[in-house]
Amino acid sequence: MNILVITTFYPHPERNDLLRDTSAIHYIAREWVQQGHQVTVLHCYGHYFRELIKELGKHDFRQYGKVQECPENEGVKVLLIENQFWLRNAKWYLPFQQRRIAKAINHYFHEKQPNYQPDVLLVHFPTNYVGIVERLDFSCRKAAVFHKTDVATVNAKPWVCPRIQNTYDLLGARTGQLQKKLAKAGIKTSFLAQSGIDESLIMTDAAFQKKWSAEVHPIKIVYAGNLVRDKKVDAILAALGSWKDRIPFEFTVIGDGICMPSCIKLAQTLGIAGSCRFTGRMTREKTLAEFRKADVFVMISRLETLGLVYLEAMSQGCIVIGSKNEGIDGIIVDQKNGYLVESGNAEELRMRLEYIAAASEDEKKSIAYAGVQTIRQMTSKKTAEQYLDQVLGTPAEKTAGSPQKG
């Protein structure tokens, strides 16, 4: 089957200058390739207006608006079209840009791949592509998958709703919480496009027992992600500030961002800098290694679509604390396979962390193991199959490896 994916975020190993917010779409696409499908990703990348001056001299602006062929990424064919956002705080394209982008995409496929016809077109972040997808010359099943940023756009520009509903055959969301928020805005979605974890990465029972039978040590807490305001790392530090000279702990912060200096300063102000370690960005492999050493993973961010990092932490036997009413809510069931607190609520987080610190080893192991069991039902193979099955209405594997049209 030919699958064409349009997305706002996608990793390019050879382009470090492009923002890499998440690799979640790549992990799904890679899984479809392994299942025998032909997958092409069209990455529509918008350069932010605020970065325009910084990028002068760094980019070939002559390539903007043209479809570029990029190196394959683990069997996924990758296309890139770059454009400039012209409104200071906006993340959508102006009407004239929408027409030009659609024209450029149609021109590329007519000229470079005249025999190509996707069996299904999957569009992530659909509010970014209003005025584009409806102009594409593809006669196939079309499905849109909403992310957190789409909700803000739908609320700010409700007129996009009927256009999206008229463009696609199916509408989906990344999480159940997003489905609820979209329903309030008048958009009914019929399927979930969730992420999963490579089965080979999930901690075995033997490894789990070894981790949780280790000698008593200061509680090890970890965070991994961008250091930006919405991630609320300052609230984690504030919660841990009350532990000074009272409860021994080690807090590892993996990631980088504009809030790094202020977080380091806050740790110093709270007198807990000696218990905090700021590592900067780490590879996925090294991050997973840190999770294997940690007792608790905390991320109480707001406006979180799903956060693959939650699943990765659960897969490595961590007790995970996430945010209520955000993307992880529903996958984590409070006090069953993890804990949920209000986003950014330092006091509620402090109380939850102190409860965990005082809990028996059996209770800690029970919660952590329930998290591992949850992830064993959310492998990347299972979630990728479920995603495609829901879009097609039939088991995806029946059509895997079908010849290209044309």
- pLDDT 10s digits, 392-402: 985 443 344 44
**Of 330, 334, 336, 341, nearest in space to 378 by CA:** 330
Instruction: Provide mean pLDDT across the span 324-331.
Output: 89
**Residues of the chain above pLDDT 90, percent:** 74
164, 144 contact by CB (below 8 A): yes
For residue range 107-164, what is the model confidence (pLDDT) as tens digits?
999 999 999 999 999 999 999 999 999 999 999 999 999 998 899 899 988 999 999 9
- Choose from 52-56, 191-195, 299-303 the range with maximum mean pLDDT: 191-195
Mean pLDDT in residue range 52-59:
58
Average pLDDT over residues 257-281: 96
CA 297 to CA 312: how far, in whole Å? 10
Q: Which CATH architecture is the domain 199-376 placed in? A: 3-Layer(aba) Sandwich (3.40)
> Cα(399)–Cα(288) distance, rounded to whole angstroms?
34
Amino acid letter for position 306: L
For the chain, domain boundaries = 2-196+380-398, 199-376
338 three-class SS: strand
pLDDT, tens digit, 9 for 90 and up, residues 335-389: 999 999 999 999 999 999 999 999 999 999 999 999 999 999 999 999 999 999 9
Tokens of 179: 């489905």
Residue 261 confidence (pLDDT) above 50: yes
Q: Which residues pair with 340 in a beta bridge?
A: 322
Rounded to whole angstroms, the Cα distance separating 376 from 88 reads 43
Looking at the domain that runs over 2-196+380-398, which CATH code has it been given?
3.40.50.2000
Domains 2-196+380-398 and 199-376 share a fold: yes
How many other CB atoms are there within 10 angstroms of residue 17's CB atom?
10
**Cα 360 from chain centre:** 33
pLDDT above 60 (res 53):
no
Name the nearest CA neighbour of 240 among 321, 183, 148. 321
Angle between helices 148-156 and 176-184 (to 10 degrees): 0
Residue with tokens 């064919």, as numbered in its chain = 77
Name the pLDDT band for 300 (thresholds 50, 70, 90).
very high
Number of H helices, E strands in the chain: 14, 14
Confidence band for 90, pLDDT divided at 50, 70 and 90: low
Q: Which helix (H) or strand (E) holds 52?
A: helix 52-55
